[in-house]
Amino acid sequence: MTRIDAKFAELNAAGKKAFVAYVMAGDPDYDTSLEIVKGLPGAGVDIIELGLPFTDPMADGPTIQLAGQRALDGGMTLQKTLDLAAEFRKADDTTPIVLMGYYNPIYSRGVEAFLTDAKAAGIDGLIVVDLPPEEDSELCIPAQAAGMNFIRLATPTTDGKRLPKVLQNTSGFVYYVSITGITGAAEAEATDVGPEVTRIKASTDLPVIVGFGINTPEKAQNIASVADGAVVGSAIVSQIGAGKSTTEVLEFVKSLADGAHRA
């Protein structure tokens, strides 16, 4: 059982929904980023999504693209991202960390070396948005063999024919993208999301967590009420990008987590 599996078992037993927070590793700099990540569990975050900075993101809107650029400009690398996770693990051995990014930096390092190092750093799961199920032998299956969850995205355009393929080797949870388009581009609506979550859950026992387009505590509550939890990324990253203090960022995160936990 991974930390992700254990977290959902714990939440389920307590009758609670999950709150997942995304931050870009190294944004605005390594030290501030580490301080924010260390503060997320205390702000009510159940699972941390740690963005891996990459030069050519395809699913990210301007807010997260700029965060990645700030991180890269500050010298952030795959190794430093793993170092940040390892540093976090020194004080927290229970909060799951999902590394979210693109395949190129992983491929450049070599899959075997990456999985060994990521596991040692305390990474629990991977979301690699540009590796479709047809490429499962590249990273998904080796990751599962190494004891890491491989989390797949489902979207409004994932129809009944495609869904079984998407779910085939997915573990940990299913990440449902609530809108068509990039991060931060539109707002999620529970009336649209609810039936889609029900459709996905008819084909899997995995929790379904909804992300994209969630930017307020009320929205987090509404979306979590029709799913197993909510993910917020751009709204948090925009606070960091605006130069808010770590305390202010974490207060905002807590308001979102409280919203999701009210669902």
Q: Are 88 and 116 in contact (CB under 8 A)?
A: no
CA 228-51-135 angle, to 5 degrees, is: 80
Residue 185 has pLDDT above 70, yes or no: no
For strands 208-211 and 229-232, give the pairing. Answer: parallel
Reported as a single tens digit per residue, the pLDDT across 126-156 is 999 999 999 999 999 999 999 999 999 999 9
Confidence of residue 181 (pLDDT cuts 50, 70, 90): low
From residue 146, how far is each of 78, 86, 112, 140, 150 by CA, in Å? 19, 17, 9, 10, 11
pTM across the whole model:
0.97
Mean confidence (pLDDT) of the chain: 95
How far apart, in whole angstroms, are the C-alpha atoms of residue 15 and residue 261?
A: 10
Name the β-bridge partners of 229.
18, 209
Cα dihedral 202, 207, 212, 215 sign: positive
Element (H, E) at 126: strand 125-128
Choose, from 49, 117, 124, 136, the residue flagged as catalytic: 49
Reported as a single tens digit per residue, the pLDDT across 27-76 is 999 999 999 999 999 999 999 999 999 998 887 889 999 999 999 999 99
Residue 184 has pLDDT above 80, yes or no: no
Q: Render 35-66 in DSSP notation, one character per residue.
A: HHHHHTGGGT-SEEEEE---SS-SS--HHHHH
Share of the chain above pLDDT 90, in %: 91
Provide the total of helices (H) and of strands (E) in the chain, helices listed first. 12, 9
Cα dihedral 17, 87, 102, 134 sign: negative
In the numeric block, the tokens 């190294």 are attached to: 26
Q: Is 60 a catalytic residue?
A: yes
State the helix-helix crossing angle for 62-73 and 234-241, rounded to 10 degrees. 50
Identify which of 61, 60, 75 has the alpha carbon closest to the alpha carbon of residue 28.
Answer: 75
How far apart, in whole angstroms, are the C-alpha atoms of residue 97 and residue 43?
A: 15
How far apart, in whole angstroms, are the C-alpha atoms of residue 216 and residue 174?
A: 22
State the helix-helix crossing angle for 217-225 and 190-201, rounded to 10 degrees. 40
How far apart, in whole angstroms, are the C-alpha atoms of residue 120 and residue 136?
A: 22
Reported as a single tens digit per residue, the pLDDT across 3-37 is 999 999 999 999 999 999 999 999 999 999 999 99
Q: Is 83 a catalytic residue?
A: no
Identify which of 248, 164, 233, 148 has the alpha carbon closest to the alpha carbon of residue 199.
Answer: 164
Confidence of residue 188 (pLDDT cuts 50, 70, 90): confident
Choose, from 60, 117, 124, 196, the residue flagged as catalytic: 60
